[in-house]
């Protein structure tokens, strides 16, 4: 049993790719938590998608034993967190379970948007912070400048920042000592009633739901009957353990410790992150809990092959089992048939889920335009949430609409500042702040989420050649002049292409949309009008001219087989298109048509 004074709990936070997971590797390795021969790079990023994209999506906890230079043995619980803004929620709840943070800053890059976002969360959570300047092995490292930036931009003392190469192992020992000496020990009461925080939960096909807990007071033992305070359900604990990083079963967890329990729980939904756990029959003051993660981006997912609808349902059910932030409901589209309207934390989250359905479940998908959640206020005073532009009620019953706004923070070298400001203005942004730190500008904008959701980040990267970083938070809803734009192909409305736009931007979006569609839809045997309309009024129009030439020049006795097979293949290809009236629209059109060039 480790005394509280010898426990340290901390999260590792940073902007995306600044080296959190690599630092975690070194901490794990240098303390012999994992034998050298079992090490692999970013070993905590265990999911296929994480390894493939080289990013962390899910926060991970590891318990490390460390004998410090003073000869004392410490238990360190580290939580490696994701850097991408879509998964900011993982970071914030991890921070609630620990007392300190290692703030990793890539010394070749400096402070970026998620550095700021994360550090503010750490300060909010009352953390002590140890700054780490990483990647000092690289020639472009500039520790002095970055340390200065940390002090200027963030306003924390960087004089004790540790210079580290998570790649080569420089500074790892100093990091471990700093954890012991600069981060606080947890507080807690061994002899009080059990009070634990439910930090996270996920499904394991062998053990059922695994619940990650942080013990505040009391002791949790195998065989205990525990109660989840929010819903009063009682479970029999059949296993307790810690991650090193593989699961290791232990007998009990005491105050200040982080570990897991299993209790034959079937669904992740039966557990609520942020919940308070205590013993059955006991009453404790509940912890404040976490705000649940709300999906902010919605889109339709439809199987390319409509006979795979049931398989898709199955896949979505399974994925949702493990991801409480992913929501879904059935949707029918005149154009696309049966599918699901799904909610995500952001576009990366959307991509990750879509990839997993396509790969792990082998279902090809049509993804419709991502949309945000609008608030539709009706004449009768009631309010409806609108997740899908196709469901927009008739205007005669609508009083007004509100759309979600965000506060966006962008860090950019000043060479690109003008482009960034123009981009934000074009997207209906309102400037809130503009400050400089060295040669970098920090721009804060109030923006409509719907202008950002789809391709803002791509555009930002392209206008700044990848040098800008971006973070955002939802701020609230605001009334604006929003309309539904429909798209008609060959005079038939295509519901899956309809979208909500600001009235002032409608012509521009409509024009861009019909021009894109003209390129994306292959020529047919007849000419096809493509129109964008608001209500009954056409605001943009293009005509895709009829195919003029498609005939094989030479076809003799030796060509019959090949031509027949080619036609068979084309028939199969046609299945990947959706028919709207007489027009075949290729699946990629549904997303590509929305990409804007400015």
Partner 1 sequence: MTEDWQNGGFGIYIHWPFCAAKCPYCDFNSHVARTIDHAAWRNAYLEEIRKAAEQTPGRIVHTVFFGGGTPSLMEPWVVADIIDAIRKHWPTANDMEITLEANPGSVEAQRFADFRAGGVNRISMGIQALNDEDLRRLGRIHSADEARAAFDIARKTFDRVSFDLIYGRQKQTLADWESELKQALTMAIDHLSLYQLTIEQGTAFGDRYNAGKLAGLPDEDRAADMFTLTRDICADFGMPAYEVSNHARDGAQSRHNLIYWRYGDYVGIGPGAHGRLTLNGQRFATEAPTNPKRWLEELRQLPNVALTGEDQANEFLLMGLRLTDGVDLARFEALSGRSVAPDTLKNLSELGLLDQRGRNISVTEQGVSVLNGVLRELLAD
Ligand X SMILES: Nc1nc2c(ncn2[C@@H]2O[C@H](COP(=O)(O)OP(=O)(O)OP(=O)(O)O)[C@@H](O)[C@H]2O)c(=O)[nH]1
Q: Which does 71 bind (CB under 5 to 8 A by kind): partner 1, ligand X, ligand SAM, none?
A: none
- Residue 554 vs 571, nearer CB to ligand SAM: 554
> In whole angstroms, how close is the CB of 556 to ligand SAM at the nearest point?
9
- The least CB distance from residue 98 to Mg ion, in Å, is 17
Of 128-167, binders to ligand X (CB under 6 A) are 134-135, 137-138, 165-167
Residues forming the site for partner 1 (CB under 8 A): 523-526, 547-558, 560-561, 563-564, 567-568, 570-571, 574, 582
Q: What's the rounded Cα separation, in Å, for the pair 404 and 15?
A: 25
Residues in the chain: 598
**73 or 555: CB nearest ligand SAM:** 555
User: Which partner in partner 1, Mg ion, ligand SAM, none is near 291 (CB below 5 to 8 A by kind)?
Assistant: none
551 scored as a contact of ligand SAM (CB under 6 A): no
Q: Helices (H), strands (E): how many in the chain?
A: 14, 33
Q: Which of 4, 6, 17, 591 binds ligand X (CB under 6 A)?
A: 17
Measured CA to CA in angstroms, residue 83 lies from 54, 103, 137, 381 at distances of 11, 12, 22, 41
Write down the residue that tokens 């007489």 correspond to: 582
Half-sphere exposure of 274 (CA within 13 A, CB side): 11
274 near ligand X, rule: CB under 6 A = no
Give the H or E element holding residue 50.
helix 48-53
Binding mask 22-51 for ligand X (x = CB under 6 A): x-------------------x---------
Q: Which stretch binds ligand X (CB under 6 A): 53-61, 216-224, 446-454, 546-554?
A: 53-61
- Alpha helix (H) residue ranges in 104-168: 113-124, 143-149
User: Among candidates 265, 323, 294, which has minimal Cα distance to 49?
Assistant: 323
Long-range (24+ apart) CB contacts under 8 A made by 317-323 are 319/353, 319/356, 319/357, 321/203, 321/267, 321/268, 321/269, 322/202, 322/203, 322/268, 323/268, 323/353
Residue 84 or 484: the one with the smaller Cβ distance to Mg ion is 84
Q: Which residues bind Mg ion (CB under 5 A)?
A: 20-21, 56
Our CB check for Mg ion shows the closer of 82 and 254 to be: 82
What are the tokens at 218?
Answer: 């009391």
Under 8 Å CB-to-CB from 328, ≥6 apart: which residues? 316, 320, 340, 341, 342, 343
Question: Which C-beta is closer to ligand X: that of 19 or that of 339?
Answer: 19
- With CB under 5 to 8 Å by kind, the binding choice for 526 among ligand SAM, Mg ion, partner 1, none is partner 1
Contact status, residue 132 vs residue 112, Cβ threshold 8 Å? no
Question: DSSP states of 89-121 as a string?
Answer: HHHHHHHHT-SEEEEEEETTT---HHHHHHHHH
Closest approach of partner 1 to the CB of residue 527, in Å:
10
- Nearest residue to ligand X, using CB? 83
Residue of minimal CB distance from ligand SAM? 553
Closest by Cα among 596, 255, 288 to 455: 596
Applying CB under 6 A, does 548 fall inside the site for ligand SAM? Answer: no
Smallest distance from ligand SAM to CB 554, Å? 6
Point out which residues pair with 205 in neighbouring strands: none
Question: Is residue 554 part of the contact set for ligand SAM (CB under 6 A)?
Answer: yes
Task: For residue 85, give every residue at least 6 positions away whose Cβ sits within 8 Å of its Cβ, in sequence order, or none.
Answer: 113, 114, 117, 346, 470, 471, 472
Does residue 553 bind ligand SAM (CB under 6 A)? yes
Binding site for ligand SAM (CB under 6 A): 553-554
Binding site for ligand X (CB under 6 A): 14, 16-22, 42, 54-56, 82-83, 134-135, 137-138, 165-167
């Amino acid at each position: 049993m480790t005394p509280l004074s010898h426990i340290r709990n901390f999260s590792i936070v940073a902007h995306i790719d600044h080296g959190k997971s690599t630092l975690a590797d070194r901490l794990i390795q240098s303390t012999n938590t994992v034998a050298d021969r079992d090490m692999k790079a970013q070993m905590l990023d265990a999911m296929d998608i994480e390894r493939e994209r080289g990013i962390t999506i899910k926060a991970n906890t590891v318990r490390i034993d460390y004998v410090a230079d003073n000869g004392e043995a410490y238990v360190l619980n580290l939580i490696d967190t994701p850097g991408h803004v879509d998964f900011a929620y993982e970071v914030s709840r991890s921070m609630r379970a620990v007392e300190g943070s290692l703030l990793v800053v890539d010394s070749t890059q400096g402070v970026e948007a998620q550095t700021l976002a994360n550090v503010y969360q750490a300060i909010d959570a009352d953390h002590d912070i140890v700054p780490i300047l990483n990647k000092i092995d690289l020639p472009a490292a500039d520790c002095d400048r970055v340390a200065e930036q940390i002090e200027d931009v963030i306003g924390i003392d960087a004089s004790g920042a540790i210079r580290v190469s998570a790649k080569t192992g420089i500074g790892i020992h100093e990091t471990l000592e700093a954890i012991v000496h600069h981060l606080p020990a947890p507080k807690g009461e061994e002899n009080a009633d059990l009070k634990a925080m439910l930090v996270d939960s996920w499904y394991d096909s062998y053990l059922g739901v695994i619940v990650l807990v942080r013990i505040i007071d009391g002791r949790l033992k195998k065989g205990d009957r525990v109660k989840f305070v929010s819903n009063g359900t009682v479970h029999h604990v059949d296993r307790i353990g810690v991650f090193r990083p593989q699961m290791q079963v232990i007998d009990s967890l005491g105050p200040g410790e982080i570990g897991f329990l299993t209790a034959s729980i079937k669904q992740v939904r039966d557990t609520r992150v942020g919940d308070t756990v205590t013993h059955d029959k006991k009453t404790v003051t509940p912890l404040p809990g976490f705000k649940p993660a709300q999906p902010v981006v919605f889109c339709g997912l439809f199987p390319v092959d409509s006979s795979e609808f049931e398989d898709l349902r199955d896949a979505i059910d399974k994925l949702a089992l493990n991801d409480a932030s992913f929501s879904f409901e059935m949707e029918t589209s005149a154009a696309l048939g049966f599918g699901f309207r799904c909610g995500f934390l952001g576009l990366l989250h959307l991509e990750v889920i879509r990839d997993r359905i396509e790969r792990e479940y082998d279902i090809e998908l049509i993804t419709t335009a991502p949309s945000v959640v609008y608030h539709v206020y009706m004449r009768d005073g009631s309010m409806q949430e609108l997740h899908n532009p196709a469901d927009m009620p008739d205007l005669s019953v609508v009083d007004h609409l509100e759309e979600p706004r965000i506060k966006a923070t962008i860090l950019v070298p000043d060479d690109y500042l003008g482009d960034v400001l123009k981009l934000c203005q074009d997207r209906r942004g309102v400037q809130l702040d503009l400050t400089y730190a060295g040669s970098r500008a920090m721009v804060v904008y109030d923006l409509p989420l719907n202008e950002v959701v789809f391709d803002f980040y791509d555009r930002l990267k392209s206008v700044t050649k990848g040098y800008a970083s971006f973070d955002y938070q939802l701020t609230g809803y605001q009334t604006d002049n929003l309309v539904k734009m429909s798209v008609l192909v060959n005079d038939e409305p295509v519901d899956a292409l309809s979208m909500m736009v600001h009235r002032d931007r409608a012509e521009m979006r409509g024009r861009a949309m019909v021009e894109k569609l003209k390129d994306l839809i292959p020529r047919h045997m007849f000419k096809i009008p493509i129109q964008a309309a608001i209500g009954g009024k056409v605001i943009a129009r293009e005509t895709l001219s009829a195919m003029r030439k498609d005939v094989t020049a030479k076809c003799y006795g030796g060509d019959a087989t090949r031509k027949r097979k080619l036609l068979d293949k084309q028939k199969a290809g046609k299945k990947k298109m959706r028919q709207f009236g007489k027009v075949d629209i290729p699946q990629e059109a549904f997303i590509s048509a929305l990409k804007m060039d400015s």
